[in-house]
Structure 1
Amino acid sequence: MRLSKSIFALTATLSLAFTGCQQVVKPAATTPTLSETPSDQNQAGTATAPSNQFNLQGKIGVKTPKQSGSAFFTWQQDHEDFDIQLSGILGIGKTIIEGKSGEVTLNSSKTGLIQAESPEELLERATGWVAPITDIVSWVQARPATTDAKIAKDDADRISKIEEDGWTVDLSYNDKETLPNKLILKQALESGAENRVTMVIQNR
């Protein structure tokens, strides 16, 4: 089930920074190697249907035609409440993004406390980054965020690729694990360039 927009847009670590004067190329209507997501099928392949409740630690990197950067993260998700902490972002210091009871806030030593309607907007204001965190909540659990997604699976029947909301996501797994340890998110731009987010999950 898709999470509330006001809370999980949060993933976008970079919001509208990518779209300022760049046009996003919409994916083709059909992709032979991908299939439509069945509404009555377990979307996580062979994994047990996941819930929106997890703890993650790892590193995230963002690269755009104009800038690049990386940060270490811890992410605690409890249904529609979340707490994301980023450290190591150049020029901004430790950043805390929280969503509780419909309120999304960002706090860092450089920006102070910021409130907005979505996490994407918060992070875009603070760092200039953009990433589809609303959808990432589902993607890190090896499932698409909506029934409009197109997916591909590997030989172990795990989701290995998702095309959704203008992004292509490649998922990698360790051995026989059913949840991904690495995600590469790519958003094609009209100029032929792309926005890329690389997320490495070190601990769950």
Structure 2
Amino acid sequence: MHILSKFCLSVIAGSTLALTGCQQYIQPQEPLPAPSAEAPNQFNLQGKIGVRTPQQSGSAFFTWAQEQDEFDIELSGILGVGKTQISGKPGEVTLNSAKTGLISAASPEELLERATGWNAPITHLVKWVQAKPATQHAQLNKDGSGRIAQILEDGWQVDLSYENSDPLPNKLVLKQALETGKENRITMVIQNR
């Protein structure tokens, strides 16, 4: 069970890292209205993330601070147990926890693969948490209010949920269908922005 918990935490940590570390892909789609306006790749999120694969599952609380091309993510279990720190800037991403030690890589995808053996385009999450597609090839479905409710992109289905009339989602469910008929699933609940 300890090995499974360690692996799950690594998956969650790597997943969250990959969510934020891919800043070279983040570009504003329209000019900012004023210099004081918040940039699309600048935000602070808090919430809970869960990862479920056919082999295992796990969850953690997260705080994610994104400042242009740099980010810091902290993951922890219940009552702050098992803290993991993930930091990144262009060309350098690190994951540090008591269970895994320090792991470094040039990109979030590389770090995720080193930490977990799992390969996924989850760097798109920087756009997805802002209710935007990450590429021009994405297929979009909108809700009755005109907000993006579903993104189909790079083999992933992303379902976005909103609270009331909020313009940004408070929940994302990412699903990747596998050849076995099963799926990989990441559920991200954003409690504070």
Partner of 2:75: 86
Q: Is the 8 A contact 1:151 1:162 kept in 2?
A: yes
CA distance in 2, matches of 1:9, 1:108: 13
Moved over 6 A (4+): none
Q: How high is the TM-score relative to the length of structure 2?
A: 0.76
Residue 11 of structure 1 corresponds to: 19
Q: Does the C-alpha gap of structure 1 residues 172 and 54 become closer, same or farther in structure 2, counting only changes over 3 Å?
A: same
Once the two structures are TM-superposed, the CA of residue 137 in structure 1 deviates from its matched residue by: 0.3
Q: Does the CA-based 8 Å contact 2:17-2:87 persist in structure 1? A: no
SS in 1 for 2:175: strand
The 3-state SS of whatever aligns with 2:146 is coil
Q: Percent identity?
A: 68
The reply to whether residue 149 of structure 1 matches residue 138 of structure 2 is yes
The reply to whether residue 136 of structure 1 matches residue 125 of structure 2 is: yes
**Offset of residue 119 of structure 1:** 2.0
Paired with 1:9 and 1:95, the residues of 2 have a C-alpha distance of 10
Q: Secondary structure at the match of 1:113?
A: strand
Tell me: higher relative CO, structure 1 or 2? Use CA pairs within 8 A at least 6 residues apart. 1
Unaligned 5+ segments in structure 2 are 1-15, 22-28, 31-36
Residue 122 of structure 1 is matched in structure 2 by 111
| Structure having the larger proportion of residues in helix | 2
Check 1:183–1:62 CA distance in 2 against 1; reply closer, same or farther (3 A cut). same
CA distance in structure 1 between the aligned counterparts of 2:19 and 2:103, rounded to whole angstroms: 16
Alpha-carbon distance, 1:158 to partner: 0.2
In structure 2, what is the equivalent of residue 187 of structure 1?
176
TM-score (norm 1): 0.72
**Aligned partner of 1:112 among 92, 101, 104:** 101
1:113 is aligned with what amino acid?
Answer: L
Corresponding residue SS for 2:44: strand
Q: Secondary structure at the match of 2:65?
A: strand
1:87 corresponds to which letter in structure 2?
A: S
